[in-house]
Structure formats: C-alpha cells, structure tokens
Structure 1
C-alpha cells in the first residue's frame, strides 16, 4: 500500500496524526484616529500536520508544539494586527506563522467562525463604539503548507431566508406513502449554510488590499439573497428548493471569477397551513395563505455543490 506524505508505516501499519487547539475565543478592538472603534469576535480552531511521530510511539515530546502555545499565539498575532483584518486574513497570518516558524510543521489548517457583531445606529447615526449581535456567521478555513501553497474557503452559516409567496412544488413522485399535495403557492423558508473556495493557490497570489475578503463575503451573501428573493416587487418563482439552490450557486460562480466552487446546504423549514374545523363550528380557522404552524422538525435536507471544471470543493 502506498503512503502519502502525511502517513508513515509503523510495524506494517499505516499511521496518521495531527494535533491542535479548538475553540480559542478572541475579541479584538481597533481604534481609529477619530475614536471610531471596530470590533470582531472570533472562535479559532487550529490543526497542525507535523513530524512529531516520536511523541506517539516513543514518548518523546521534543517535536511537539504545545496546544497551549497555539492558544497563546492566537492572542499574540491578534495583538500584532495593528490595522483591522478580515477573518480570512487572520487565518492566513496564523497558518503562515505555524508553517514558517516550526521546521517540523508541514501543514497548518485554521478554521475561524466570526460572531456577527454589528454596529448600531441611533437616530440614523452610526454609533462610534456600540454594537449588537446579529444572526448569520462568517466562516473560513485556510490551509497553508510549508512550500507556500494555499487554500482559502469562506462561508456563511445561519442565513435564515423566508418568502411568503412565489414558491411551489409539483410533479414529484407519488406512491402509496405520499400525502403531500402539489401546490404552486406556498411559503418558502430555509437556513442557508454556504461555503465557497477561492482560486488562490499560493500565499504570493493574495493581494495586499485590506479587508478584501470581508468585501467579497458581503457581495457573495448579497448575490445569494438576491437570487433567492428576486426583484423587490415581483420576486422570482421557486419551483423547488433544489432549483433555487442551483440558481444561487450558479449566480455566485457567474459573478465572481476568483471563486472556483460553491457548496450550499438549504434545509426546507416548513410552515404548515392551518385549517381547523369541528362539528360545532365547521370553520374555526380557514386557511387563506395566511395562518401557518411553524415547525423545523422534521425538515427537508437539500445540499449540492457547483464547481468550475478541474475544481474540487
């Protein structure tokens, strides 16, 4: 059996290992010259592929990067960022550090979830240092190898979308277990989890433009929502979650040439029509596309990826 560069053969067996630190939480405030503050809160996970097999097989820890050191490095690197950086940029900074500073580390994988703190406005004026917690979260996964190769994936989780019309579901398979009626008029709700991979292949291919990933994140999120909802007045008809998911993924690839692939997971969160009656009162609540029972268990699960040729998600 052939082994990869991250595998070794020990006593006829194939051995793979990695170690890291999970859920390192860090908050960072940047203060500009006009006393306007910017704030982020990140949850960082680090995984290192390194030549430290002796720690496992010989109880020799001399090649181990302590996970506590990894935790402390997160705070040190956050402190060193004198100007505001995006979550992707910070992940690259961390991954680059671990692969360049430690000779035995061959690959660093850094995943970060950014908590959605948003600046508040009072009387129409943005507050200099006031923030409120939003909903969807910005995510990233960065993989850096010692030779400088790079992989950057960004994403959004918890993006809850709902439209009260312009949705239907018809023509699906019907058998003895099917009771769902066909309809051209229903509510459509979902909680989007999306991730997209950039074309960048090396650290040298990243430009120095500040907050470029944050800007792209906001633009991708807008394309996803615009495709889901359609124009403000007339909207856009959705014949199924599957068709809408595909249109959203296709729109992202069509709009952003530096994105090589996109993955979408869109559970169908149900709002069930309510129409109650009894012998005493034949119509207590008559459904007229107006009263629903919200439920998220069980829900449909729809998931797909769309990639450019020769691209792997």
Structure 2
C-alpha cells in the first residue's frame, strides 16, 4: 500500500516468510498422503500508525501469522491442493482482520512422491522427487482473486533431434552452426488462471493439483515429441513457444503462461596430444557438461483477452 506522509510516499506490507509445514492425511483404508509446504505471506493493511505514530494496534503480529498457517493446516481434514490452501489462508486474513485489505500467499510444495516396492505403491512411504509445485495467490477483502501456479526445477534433456543455425555471425562469433546437438534445460513455468473471484473457482476436489500434473505432462510431451522419433528443435526459443502454445491450446482454463528455459550446455569434447596434433573428434558421444555461463531464454504467451 502507498500513503503520503510528511510529503513522502510510504509503501508497506508485512507478513511471515518460509513457514514450513508438513501435513499427513490418513484414509480409512490405511493409505497415507503427505505434503510439505513452504509458506510465505504478505499482508497489505492499514497500519500506517505503526510507522509514524508508534501505534501497533492495527498490526497482525508475524508470529500470529505463522501460527495461523499451522492451525489452518490442522483444520484441513481432507486432502487439498496447495492452491486451495493458499486461497483459504487469503480468505482468512482478509475477512478475520479488519485492517487487512489484501493477502499475498506464496507456497512452494516439495515433491514428495509415493514409493513403489516390487511394483506396488507403499501405503505410507515417500521419496523426494525433483521439480517443485509453486503457487502465488492474491486475495482482496472484496473477494477479488488472482491465482498463479507453476513448476520450478523441471530438468529435461534429449541427446539428439536438436540444432542451432542461421543466427547472426560477426567478429565476436565463435559458435559453430549445427543440426546435431544435445539440448538440455531446467524449466521454470508459471501460468495464470482466469478466475477473478473466489466464487468462480471450480467446485472440484484437487482441481488445481490435477491441472498441475496435466500441464507438466503437456510441457514434457511437447519438449520430447513422440517416443520413437521425437521432434526436431531448431532452437530453445522455438521449443519454448511450442510448449507454451500446447498448454494454452489444451487447457482453456489457463489464460497465460510464462516459461524460463536456460540453455544448459553439453560441449562436444575434442582433444589433441603431443604425439598427434590432429584434433580427435568424439562424434557426438563424449561431452563436457557445463551450466555456467548458460543461455538465458524466457517468454510469456497469453490469450489476447488475458490481463497478464
């Protein structure tokens, strides 16, 4: 919030960051479900007197915010998505506290996955995966809503069907053109839902959790192409656009998507020695992996009517 005080503009918010919570749900049949969330909350509120008059009467203590996360996790008697938990927290803070005008809830869900033993899912065993499910929810006292979901750390690589050629060449250019290379990246994706109020959210258990898995599958499938022949990638930029376009084409409840796809390099190893100064080429089978420095490639794709 921005306020003019003593001829100055004051913008302020407060909250609690990195509140870690684990939650177990137990079905009657004995199967357990587990999530681990890292919750950060920012409250926009009318607490200017705390800054200029030493009056804390309109402040929700950050320790109270932390405790609320655990209480609300306890109150969730049924398994729910990270987005639904964030929306519930936002509704609480904007309705329970009169000075709070809006709540911004950011949550990162650790990728705990059910273990399979001898091909069978374990009832209460989990292992830590790789990519993380993230969300940012903004809830206003009026009921206005913004929901953004995403993926962090989705690492993908294919050993062929990729090239890069026809780019600008000048006196600084040393990179050779190629139609045969490894392409690897670590995808960070975020997508916006069109829902503008809490009442417009679909009434469906685990709706957001299912959509997250759906989007992840489309991103991965588009990156790799068919399992036998794959799909050629003329650049990371082209592949990024095809991935974003596929998500918007498949899911009409997503209004926009942003992708960050750094080009993680695998450089072909070519060697020479004293006895034989000729370069020994390894013919696309031995590489030097390096991710520093790496190419930085990102873009967002939106429907024409999207506000993002």
Match of 1:63 among 55, 58, 61: 58
1:190 equivalent in alignment to 2:157:
no
Aligned to 1:233: 228
Q: 1:279–1:194: structure 2 CA closer, same or farther, 3 Å change rule? A: same
TM (norm. structure 1) is 0.97
Q: Which ranges of structure 2 fall in alignment gaps of 5 or more residues?
A: none
Q: Cα distance, 1:282 vs. partner?
A: 5.0
Aligned to 2:300: 305
1:138 equivalent in alignment to 2:133:
yes
Aligned to 1:3: none
Q: Cα distance, 1:252 vs. partner?
A: 0.7
Aligned to 1:108: 103
Q: Cα distance, 1:277 vs. partner?
A: 1.5
Q: Cα distance, 1:283 vs. partner?
A: 6.4
Q: Cα distance, 1:208 vs. partner?
A: 2.3
Q: What is the alpha-carbon distance in structure 1 between the residues aligned to residue 155 and residue 244 of structure 2?
A: 17
Aligned to 1:206: 201
Aligned to 1:12: 7
Q: Cα distance, 1:15 vs. partner?
A: 1.5
Q: What is the alpha-carbon distance in structure 1 between the residues aligned to residue 276 and residue 126 of structure 2?
A: 51
Aligned to 1:75: 70
Q: Deviations over 1:159-211 (max 9, x none)?
A: 00000000000000001010000000000000000000001000000122111
Q: Which ranges of structure 1 fall in alignment gaps of 5 or more residues?
A: 1-5
Q: What is the alpha-carbon distance in structure 2 between the residues aligned to residue 167 and residue 126 of structure 1?
A: 37
Q: Cα distance, 1:311 vs. partner?
A: 1.7
Q: What is the alpha-carbon distance in structure 1 between the residues aligned to residue 290 and residue 83 of structure 2?
A: 35
Q: Deviations over 1:92-117 (max 9, x none)?
A: 01011000100110000000000000
SS in 1 for 2:271: coil
Q: Cα distance, 1:285 vs. partner?
A: 5.0
Q: What is the alpha-carbon distance in structure 2 between the residues aligned to residue 117 and residue 80 of structure 1?
A: 22
| Total equivalences in the alignment | 308
Match of 2:27 among 27, 32, 35: 32
* RMSD over aligned Cα atoms: 1.0
TM (norm. structure 2) is 0.98
1:174 equivalent in alignment to 2:169:
yes
SS in 1 for 2:210: helix
SS in 1 for 2:281: coil
Match of 2:82 among 87, 99, 103: 87
SS in 1 for 2:241: helix
1:262 equivalent in alignment to 2:257:
yes
Q: Cα distance, 1:293 vs. partner?
A: 0.4
